[in-house]
Structure 1
Amino acid sequence: MKSSGKFGFILLGVTVLIIAFIDLASDKQIDWSKTYDQRDKIPYGLYIIREELPEILGNQVQVEDFTSTNYDFLKTFLPEKEQSSLVYIVNGFYEGKEVTGELMKFVERGGEVFISANNFPHYLMDTLGIKQQFHYPYNFNEVINVEDRPFSLVDGKTAYYPDLEYPGLFCELDTINTQIIGYYGVEDKEIPNFIEIKRGKGRFLLHLGPLMFTNYYMLLKTENFIYGAAVLKLLSNKKIYWFDSTFKETEEAKTPLRVLLQNDGLRQGWYILLFGLILFLLFKSKREQKAVHVVEPEPNLSKEFARTIATLYYESGNPGNLIQKKVEYFLYDIRTHFQLDILQLEDEVFAKQLSLKTGVPLDECENLIELLLRYRKVRTSTDAELVALNKRIEDFKRKANML
């Protein structure tokens, strides 16, 4: 093996060892990103609640995922699913007028929509006749004690979230179609953060505070898990469709490399491969000869030139000049092919010599020579004469094997 090859393998091995050492010695930081992804086991993922959902709702309940909330998808997905529930646990529910309209039709036919989010769109709020605020009403004049942060359901279940900021609140509720089923306590007041809104044969369940369902809070204390489970147990249908937000958030990045880049081991292997390839190209390029530029020969454009000249003569409207050029060119061919002196063209012996060397009958040779002599002296002629002369010359060349 050449020395450069050995050096390349040694350098690649050293690189692999350095990367492995850095990976083992590095202090892996906890990822506190609020992904709300059912596959994430990080603190703010939804892995626990999604895995425990069949146990929470009972084995008789069927749970499936759906991956899109756009209008075209829901228009074909929601029909004939009236006896089912849609579950959204997202940071913000930002759907527009068209999607809201499809959800309203779905609920009015008997469907159920559960949404836990920090923000709701104004169009949905206006359609349901409620409002959401992100500050406390001005009549909260007393100092608010936020150390315990108790969140309760109307059935009495209460959980404490010491690190969770208070979410917004629902206000201006319609007491006929809207019912408060969850709240959080501020001094002696109960602030609604979980409501039920009936529409037609179905209902909306709107919840403020999706962080309560993440891995961190579900595993923090037993009462937190019980609170989250109790909220989802309010779903009344036997068919549950869980919104998988991962696909929606990654629609813009469909590169095949995302599988490699999302896994630490595969990502490091991919970087090592790229680094080794760069090293290989660097060492390989030093041993390769520089590419020799290929010089193409000049193309033979004789035919194109002749065609251009003929076109110019033809378009000038003077066939006589072209006939003279045709005669001179034909005599040149005779001189080069049969070594005859064309200066003796008017002599009788020239016709005999031409007939002997070409094998063409003597009378045809004499007629052709007479025609050539006549047109050498003509200055004006017609197109028909040019065509006739060309035909006689081509016929003679064919008989004399000049073509």
Structure 2
Amino acid sequence: MKNAGKFGLVLVGLTILVIALIDVTSDKQVDWTRTYDQRDKIPFGLYVVRQELPRILGEQGAEVTDVTATNYTYLRDFLRGKENSSLVYIVDQFYEGKEVTKELIAFAERGGEVFISSNSLPVNFLDTLGIEQHYYYPQNFDDVIDTKDRAFMLNDGRTAFYKDLEYPGLFYDLDTIGVSIIGYFEAEGREVPNFLEVKRGKGRFLLHLEPLMFTNYYFLQRRNFMYASSALKFITRQQVYWYDGHSTGQQARTPLRVLLQHAGLRQAWYILLFSLILFLLFRSKREQKAVPVIPPEPNLSREFAKTIATLYYESGHPGNLVQKKIEYFLYELRTHFQLDILKLEEEDFAQQLALKSGVALSLCEYITARVIRCKKTKISTDKELVELNKDIEEFKHNANML
């Protein structure tokens, strides 16, 4: 059992060591997926901008709250009475249908503010606002593969450079009343608009065509941070609602969910499960079956002696009990002091008993004489039996025989 337990511990330790070595030496590839998810800390997630947005808008004292659904019915009920707030979309594609876009336009006309940063906007939405969107393609086709940094600017002079935008989005046909250009990028010596303010009724839309600028990778670069934060500061309302399109709704609040969300805790959980399985396997193979406990037979010698004494006493012949008492006493003398009890009546027996027992010679002579006398007496009384027992017990006490 002990060897099996040690082997199991060694095997678990080796397993943990191998997993740790694999984890340390493995080449962890960077995930460049453009998720635009506020929970993702990968380069093209939105974790940083979502965390920093309340600080960026802190001068206005804005409060930021997540919105997890934007279907027509929900949006209509949610935005009712919130005309003094802002709704923020930073998404890859703005795919809202006609009913939702109508509700957003109605919300802006009542005084609301809508910030949208997306690579594309729906045609029906753009037609309603009286603008058009396209993508920039260089006149010289060889420039398509040019990956050098492209300058993006705001009207306040903030400038940032992005190298991953080969075909950035742009707005054109902007002769509609209420449309203002607040951001653009430079291409072939021209300023191409990609950030608009579109006033609608009492409110407005802020339309931005490159959400990549707000991802973790660019947002953590100082110059790009200044550009992105300045773009977000166009949001002027005190209450801001952030559209969380990747939310899966109400999530289970169990400890297991917390463990599985983090790589380190997840690995520790799997190691624990594997160790428990190994432990159960070795325990089931090596553990002996339960052995029933058999209690020892009780020592009933005392009860037996008491029963015999009672029988002798009740028979009315204490002489027999006296003889048994003497025989047992002589047996104890023989076993304790190796005396020859056949020489009981010899003159030197009492002296030998005194030497071996350490009892006074007078007491040894007395008990020897008493035993010889009682042994020769065939008829005894109860009184003589009690006196004999008292003398024997006194001698045994002095001789440390009890």
Question: Is TM (by shorter chain) over 0.5?
Answer: yes
Residues 116-170 of structure 1: CA distance to partner in whole angstroms, max 9, x if unpaired? 0112223322332333223538xx4697576341111233322222343342222
Per-residue deviation at 1:174? 4.3
Unaligned runs of 5+ residues in structure 1 are: 289-403
Residue of structure 2 equivalent to 1:121: 122
Distance 2:46 2:112 in 1: 24
Matched, 1:79 2:80: yes
Distance 1:83 1:253 in 2: 30
3-state SS, counterpart of residue 136 of structure 1: coil
Residue of structure 2 equivalent to 1:230: 230
Unaligned runs of 5+ residues in structure 2 are: 288-402
TM-score calculated relative to the size of structure 1 = 0.62
Q: Is the 8 A contact 1:36 1:245 kept in 2?
A: no
Amino acid paired to 2:104: L
Distance 1:254 1:172 in 2: 49
Q: Percent identity?
A: 62
Residue of structure 1 equivalent to 2:45: 45
Structure possessing the higher radius of gyration over alpha carbons: 2
Amino acid paired to 2:260: L
Change (3 A) 1:254 1:124: farther
Distance 1:31 1:142 in 2: 30
3-state SS, counterpart of residue 192 of structure 1: strand
Residue of structure 2 equivalent to 1:111: 112
Change (3 A) 1:167 1:285: farther
Per-residue deviation at 1:79? 0.8
Distance 1:107 1:205 in 2: 11
Q: Is the 8 A contact 1:149 1:166 kept in 2?
A: no
Per-residue deviation at 1:251? 5.1
3-state SS, counterpart of residue 87 of structure 1: strand
Change (3 A) 1:11 1:246: same
Residue of structure 2 equivalent to 1:265: 264
Distance 1:122 1:284 in 2: 68
Distance 1:267 1:142 in 2: 49
Distance 1:5 1:98 in 2: 67
Q: Is the 8 A contact 1:182 1:193 kept in 2?
A: yes
TM-score calculated relative to the size of structure 2 = 0.62
Change (3 A) 1:121 1:276: farther
Amino acid paired to 2:29: Q
The runs of at least 4 consecutive aligned structure 1 residues that moved more than 4 Å come to 2-6, 141-146, 251-258, 280-288
Distance 2:39 2:55 in 1: 18
Q: Is the 8 A contact 1:61 1:240 kept in 2?
A: yes
Q: Is the 8 A contact 1:146 1:186 kept in 2?
A: no
Paired residues in the alignment total: 284
Residue of structure 1 equivalent to 2:9: 9
Change (3 A) 1:163 1:69: same
Matched, 1:155 2:125: no
Per-residue deviation at 1:51? 3.2
Residue of structure 2 equivalent to 1:304: none
Q: Is the 8 A contact 2:130 2:176 kept in 1?
A: no
Q: Is the 8 A contact 2:136 2:169 kept in 1?
A: yes
Distance 1:161 1:150 in 2: 7
Distance 1:65 1:11 in 2: 48
Distance 1:97 1:4 in 2: 70
Distance 2:4 2:171 in 1: 72
Change (3 A) 1:42 1:141: closer
Distance 1:142 1:88 in 2: 33
